[in-house]
Chains A and B, each alone.
Chain A
Amino acid sequence: DIQLTQSPSFVSASVGDRVTLTCRASQAINSYLAWYQQKPGKAPRLLIYAASTLQSGVPSRFSGTGSGAEFTLTISSLQPEDSATYYCQQLYRYLPYTFGQGTKLEI
């Protein structure tokens, strides 16, 4: 199975800061990567797919980059509502669609 490792596990930042979260795959997955945001007690919300495509309705301060085995999610100007846990997921076809272990972002 493909393993995803997210870093850091926890980050604390302030409103207006720029923050970058990283997701590394144990093997190359091209751009088969999505990012999700999850708030306590809620289902995950899709933010980014195909590594860099912004899901409809997601604020433009969220962006994704990367290809192969290293990916990043950047939030350009943090807002209070961005406090959440962020997960990456690989969707390389017909393999288990594993998630990273998550990065908790505290504002």
Chain B
Amino acid sequence: QVQLVQSGAEVKKPGASVRVSCKASGFRFSGFIHWVRQAPGQGLEWMGWVSPNNGGTYYEQKFQGRVAMTRDTSITTAYMELSGLRADDTAVYYCAREFWDAAVAPYGYALDVWGQGTTVTVSS
């Protein structure tokens, strides 16, 4: 079964760091893993991606300097660490697999498998 399973909810104080894990199973752990967050009552916000192949990353500029996306291929798990937490980082954090369909190249990219989401609450 193709799935991404994320770690459980976290409560953090302002200024702390949080690390969310995303365990992949049922597929080859090679395509990009993206991270997307959603603040309460708000829309989806794309954060960046990590490449399981070589560990390469690409971050939304807003998060640069505060986010680190990594992976451990031996256990097919991706991680997202966010530091310097603020109240407005309170959100559900999702990981998602990038999908590629060669039949509609070069446009066939999308996020087709999503984790269940991890709630991160930042509160003093």
A residues whose Cβ falls under 8 Å from a Cβ of B:
1, 30-32, 34, 36, 38, 43-46, 49-51, 53, 55, 85, 87, 89, 91, 93-94, 96-102
Contacts and interface: CB of A to CB of B under 8 A. Distances in A.
B34 A97 contact: yes
Contacts of A51: 107
Contacts, number: 78
B46 A102 contact: no
Contact of B111 (A46, A96, A100): A46
Given A49-B108, A50-B101, A53-B108, A43 B115 contact: yes
B84 to A, nearest CB: 20
Looking at chain B, what size class is its interface with the partner chain?
A: 20 to 34
Nearest to B111: A46
A50 B45 contact: no
Nearest to B32: A97
24 contacts: A1-B61, A30-B107, A34-B111, A36-B111, A43-B116, A44-B94, A44-B111, A45-B114, A49-B107, A49-B108, A49-B112, A50-B107, A50-B109, A51-B107, A53-B101, A53-B103, A53-B104, A87-B44, A89-B46, A89-B111, A93-B106, A98-B46, A99-B43, A102-B44
